[in-house]
A = this chain, B = another copy of it.
Amino acid sequence: MSECRSYSLAELAARFGGEVVGDGAVAVQRVATLESAGPADIAFFANAKYRSQLTSTRAGALIVGRAERDASALPRIVCDNPYAYFARISALLHPARPVAAGIHPGAVVAASAVIDASASVGALACIGERARIGARSVIGEGVCVGDDSMVGDDCRLYPRVTVYHGCTIGSRVIIHSGSVIGADGFGVAMEQERWLKIPQIGGVVIGDDVEIGANTTIDRGTLDDTVIGEGVKLDNQIQVAHNVHIGAHTAIAGCVGIAGSAKIGRHCRIGGGAIILGHLQIADHVDISAGTLIGKSIDKAGAYTAVYPFEAHQAWRRNAVHLRRLDRMAREIHELHKRTEK
């Protein structure tokens, strides 16, 4: 939280649109929450839960929606989508740290690899034979990019990402530390009481503008490719099995597991810890709640949930025991119906 160039509200509105209300000459240096902002900060209001802070904030300026145009006396920018507006201002005020182009002498780069002159390859990174790294991409310390893998332009692979051989990564892709792209899918055949490994000879194809969190794993396909559509956003510790397809602009929260050959639509949102079983199809614009296991295909947009409501432990014990008697309970009710109808 350090950069020092400041911008006036008028300058910000000239770049990003919106209406300035109040003194457009007021300058801000940082973005902040309503609660922690000071006079040099611009804060944003995008969650009704924090409405009371609109009056108490010490921010120098605000970003608010049309409906809150007059909810504050502070200098402010009024816009349609304050959260997105905040994102844009934050990116302007807090740009990513620049990384010098060039290959660190401590990197290990195969002779046949093609590294764009504007790219950066960090210390102790390994780039395999015939691999390609595109313009302005930053390959962090200790990253491994396998033989024949391609990384597009303007990508950022943080330290200790592993990309196996034969994977294709688009442009403007961000991959966080510890993620593994292209490990073998979990393919085994049973033969005479032993598991026989199925070679995994497909690859992984990742579209443009994808972001992948820390310690997420995306396995290579068995025969064809595992495919992550453009604009997909994956959080940390997600497991994507072989031959999965994730449609464009789908967002998936942490700890989700997606089993082999599942096909997930475009513009879906999947909550943390959800499990999607294999060989399913999920339609476009499906929202899946956190902690929900999806065991059948979903062919219709909408929200889907399977969450067991928590209780104090003793109350849970009393209630949960009946789950194993539900069928009997249903039959008893049926019996009572018949009895009372007489």
Q: Which of A242-259 contact B (CB under 8 A)?
A: 249, 251, 253-255, 257, 259
Find chain B residues with CB under 8 A from A96 CB.
199
A211→B250 CA distance, assembly (Å): 31
A288→B291 CA distance, assembly (Å): 15
**12 pairs, A vs B, C-beta closer than 8 Å:** A36-B223, A108-B124, A144-B160, A188-B211, A236-B241, A237-B257, A273-B293, A290-B293, A303-B313, A305-B311, A319-B324, A336-B337
A113→B255 CA distance, assembly (Å): 35
A321→B309 CA distance, assembly (Å): 8
1/0 contact string of A195-238 vs chain B (CB within 8 Å):
11111011000000101011101010001100000010101110
1/0 contact string of A104-133 vs chain B (CB within 8 Å):
101010000000000000111010000000
Please give the residue numbers on chain A whose beta carbons come within 8 Å of chain B beta carbons, in ascending order. Answer: 1, 31-33, 36, 49, 81, 83-84, 86-88, 90-91, 94, 96-97, 104, 106, 108, 122-124, 126, 140-142, 144, 146-147, 158-160, 162, 164-165, 174, 176-180, 183-184, 186-191, 193-199, 201-202, 209, 211, 213-215, 217, 219, 223-224, 231, 233, 235-237, 239, 241, 249, 251, 253-255, 257, 259, 267, 272-273, 275, 277, 279, 287-295, 302-327, 329-330, 332-333, 336-337, 339-340
Q: Are A307 and B330 CB-contacts (below 8 A) given A177-B164, A217-B214? A: no
The answer to whether B295 and A310 touch across the interface, beta carbons within 8 angstroms, is: yes
Return the contact of A293 from the options B49, B233, B307 (Cβ within 8 A).
B307
Return the contact of A237 from the options B49, B195, B237, B308 (Cβ within 8 A).
B237
The answer to whether B223 and A31 touch across the interface, beta carbons within 8 angstroms, is: yes
Give the interface centre of A197, A219, A223, A307 by most chain B CB atoms within 10 Å: A223
The answer to whether B158 and A183 touch across the interface, beta carbons within 8 angstroms, is: yes
Instruction: Give min CB distance, A161 to chain B, whole Å.
Output: 9
Return the contact of A1 from the options B202, B241, B329 (Cβ within 8 A).
B202
